Amino acid sequence: MANITILGAGGWGLAIGVLLNNNGHKVTMWSAVEREVNMLLEKRENTVSLPGIIIPDEIGITSDLESAVKDRDVIVMAVASSYVRATAKRLKGLVKEGQIITNVAKGIEEETLMTMTDIIEDEVPGTDVTVLSGPSHAEEVGKGLPTTCVVGAKTEKTAKYLQKIFCSEVFRVYISPDILGIELGGSLKNVIALAAGIADGLGYGDNTKAALITRGITEISRLGEAMGAEDLTLYGLSGIGDLIVTCASVHSRNRRAGMLMGQGKTMEEATKEVNMVVEGIYSAKAALKLAKKYNVSLPIIEVVNMILFDDLSAKDAVGELMLRDTTLEHPELLWTNGDV
C-alpha cells in the first residue's frame, strides 16, 4: 500500500483518487479552494466537476498543504495547468529529496513554453517528476470504465513502480521514457479538439472531424519531432489516442467550448458556459509560439488562434484551411517513374 496525496480536487483529481483508493492505497485529497473542501467533506461529492461520483470515506480531504504532502510515497499534481506553477512553488521546502511527483495536468506555459513537468522541476528541483496521460475522461475513470494510459518517467524503476500503483482490472498502464512526447500529445490535442468542436457547432459532419483528427496528429507529430519527441509516442495513447477521445467525446470540455464558438458564442461566453478550465485555450498561443520557434507549419492550430484571439469567424476559418495551397499529403513519398 502506498501513501498518496492528490493536489487538486477537480474531476480528474477525484477520479484518480477513487481509482487509487480502490487499488488499496491510502489517499489524501488536497484543495486550495475552501468551498471545494467543505463540499467534499459535507457531501463526499464534487457536484460541479464530477457529479454522481461519491468519494469513499477512507479518502482524506484537507486544505492543509504541509500535512498533505509530508512523508508521501507519491504526490499527484492534478490542478489545472494554469495553476501548476503556483502550486509547485508552494511545495518548496515541504517535500523530500527525490519525492515522486506525477503530473496529470495537460498544457504548455505560454510565457516560458515549458511543459508541466518542466515547470515542476523548475520550482521543486531534486524531485522525481513523472507524467500520467492518455485517453481518460474523469467521468469514465470515476465510474470504473476500462481505460488505458501511459506513465512517463526518467528511470524504468520509477515507471514500473507507478505502473504497479495505478494498474487495476479497469485501468491499464503502459510505461515510456518519452516524457516530452507524452506531454506534447496531451497538450496539443486540446487545441485540435477546439477545432473539432467548432466544426460540430457549424453543423459539419464526420468527414470534417476525420480530417481534423488526421491532419491534427500530423501537426502534433511535426512539432514534436522538431522538439525531440518520439513519433511512436505521438501515434500512441497520449497522442492520437487522447486526440480521438477529446475530439469526439461528450465529456470533452475543449470540444464543447469549440462547439459553442461554432454556434456563434465568443470565447468568453463559451468558457463561462462550460464552467471549467478549457485547457486548449491556454495551450493555443503557446503552440503557435513553439511553431514559430521551431519553424514548423501548424495550419489548424494557427486558425484556432485566429478564432480565439483575432476575431476570425468560425465559418471563415474553414475557408482559411480548405483554400490553402494544395500539396502532397506526405512530402517524403515521391513518384519513382520519372514523370514531372
Domain positions in the chain are: 3-177, 185-322
Residue matched to cell numbers 483575432: 310
* β-sheet bridge partners, residue 30: 7, 62
CA–CA dist 183, 53 (Å, integer): 27
Taking residues 251-272, report their average pLDDT. Answer: 90
CATH number belonging to domain 185-322: 1.10.1040.10
Single-letter code of the amino acid located at 37: V
Average pLDDT value over all residues in the chain: 93
Of residues 39 and 317, more confidence is placed in 39
User: What letter would DSSP give residue 81?
Assistant: G
pTM value surpassing 0.85: yes
pLDDT, tens digit, 9 for 90 and up, residues 50-75: 999 999 999 999 999 999 999 999 99
- One-letter amino acid for residue 189 of the chain: K
Give the HSE-up count for residue 289: Cα atoms under 13 Å, Cβ half-sphere. 12
The count of other CB atoms within 10 Å of the CB of residue 62 is 17
DSSP state string for 29-72: EE-S-HHHHHHHHHHSS-TTTSTT-PPPTTSEEES-HHHHHTT-
**How many other β-carbons are positioned within 10 Å of the β-carbon of residue 31?**
26
CA separation for the pair 37, 30 (Å, rounded): 8
CB of 282 closer than 8 Å to CB of 107: yes
- pLDDT-derived band at 42 (thresholds 50, 70, 90) equals very high
pLDDT at position 327 is 74
> Is pLDDT at 340 greater than 60 in this prediction?
no
For residue 94, give the C-alpha cell.
515541504
User: So what's the pLDDT on residue 338?
Assistant: 62
Any idea which residue has 486558425 for its cell?
Answer: 303
Any long-range contacts for 57-61 (C-beta under 8 Å, 24+ apart)? 58/21, 58/26, 58/27, 59/17, 59/18, 59/21, 59/27, 59/28, 59/29, 60/27, 60/28, 60/29, 61/9, 61/28, 61/29, 61/31, 61/37
Backbone angles phi, psi at 202, to 5 degrees: -80, -10
Report CA Rg, the chain. Answer: 20
- Asked if the model's pLDDT at residue 324 lies above 90, the reply is no
| pLDDT of 321 above 90 | no
Name the 3-class secondary structure at 168. coil
158-215 pLDDT tens trace = 999 999 999 999 999 999 999 999 999 999 999 999 999 999 999 999 998 899 999 9
Residue type, 147: T
CB-based contacts of 286, cutoff 8 Å, min separation 6: 107, 108, 109, 110, 113, 187
Q: Which of 15-19, 304-308, 309-313 has the highest mean pLDDT?
A: 15-19
Share of the chain above pLDDT 70, in %: 98
Q: For residues 322 and 204, give the distance between their C-alpha atoms in angstroms, rounded to a whole number.
A: 14
Alpha carbon of 2 to those of 55, 72, 245: distances in Å? 18, 8, 30
CA 322 to each of CA 212, 235, 319: distance values in angstroms, whole numbers, following the listed order = 11, 25, 5
Q: Is residue 101 very low, low, confident or very high in pLDDT (cuts 50, 70, 90)? A: very high
Q: What is the mean pLDDT of residues 293-307?
A: 94
The values of phi and psi at residue 33, to 5°, are -95, 110
Q: Active-site residue among 89, 157, 164, 189?
A: 189
322 pLDDT exceeds 70?
A: no
74 close to 104: Cβ distance less than 8 angstroms: no
- List, in sequence order, every residue forming a beta bridge with 153; answer none if it has no partner: none
Query: Percent of the chain, pLDDT > 90?
Result: 81
Grid coordinates of 314: 468560425
Superfamily name with CATH number, domain 3-177: NAD(P)-binding Rossmann-like Domain (3.40.50.720)
Whether residue 337 is predicted with pLDDT greater than 80 in this model: the reply is no
**pLDDT at residue 316, as a whole number:** 83
Q: Is 70 labeled as catalytic in the residue annotation?
A: no
